[in-house]
Structure 1
């Protein structure tokens, strides 16, 4: 029994001595490595002195199908609005240019040697007279009569200004309404031709009447012996 206890105690002593020896050996080696500076901590196990960077968060914007459709409709409506606005502005600018050109041209059409007063006053009174005369008539008559009075009185009281205004209206009509201008030109040619034909007919008829009267006087003088013609061609009853 005593030998067994001695054996166990001896093992414990040996284990303690061995552990102490190993610990002392490791301690001496660590001190030596620390003094020599030959031992370094692996870089993978070093701790950084700076804070770790925060991971970057990337946000991706996504739209639903309804939002995409609404966006397309809004873009189409905006485009249509701006196109209509640009077209309307273009039309307005065009009319403003036409109005300015007409105003400038009217100022140029007024004859400098022909005062508007009192001629324009007479034209207004004449036109107003036509309106007063036809105040109880039908609408076509109330429109045509004052217009006719205006067209007849303007060349009479303001002949130069009326001529310039007619020339300008003809040029403007030929530029903007060529078809209407062609019809007016054809009507003017027809009226001019009819007037020339009427004048020619009048002169030829007058000549024929005079020749007929002259021949009749000659026949009467020949058969009756009454002298109706003078040597100068005049007629005189004895």
Structure 2
């Protein structure tokens, strides 16, 4: 029994050596897998490279972008100006249209009046044409003035309210030109004075004629009585 003990010890040595080697490998592997401990000192700051102080030249792409931006601003500015001008022109057209509409509507006689524009205007046109036909073989001034006078006179006869409205409108237009307004006022005053003078002359002539006829009649009666 004592002789077998050294044999058991010699056979157990290799087995124990293998176990210790395995434990050592395991321990080293575990320590290798563990993360390294963080150092208590701060890491040194990273070196910052200073920017390049040399001037950079614009690339062709940059120059093209600048030209495109300038062109777009130019187009947008002129587009807005064109839109504003179109809006102003359209507003002016609407204002002019409303003015014309109000002017034409103002020439018509009032609704309570019995005057009719359509037949009266036809009568005035026929009278004017008749005056032109009658004076077609006369001298030029008579051929021009006679139809005008006939047309104006027929307008004041057939459509007096419309003729008065047209005359007032023409007078408003003539007042914008002082020279024309003064000439018109002078001609109108001359015509009115001539008309008044002719009326007074005709009345005076009629009165004298009546007096002459009365005297002749009285003389004739006296002669008859004396028979």
- Structure ranking higher on relative contact order (CA contacts 8 Å, 6+ apart): 2
TM, length-normalised to structure 2: 0.49
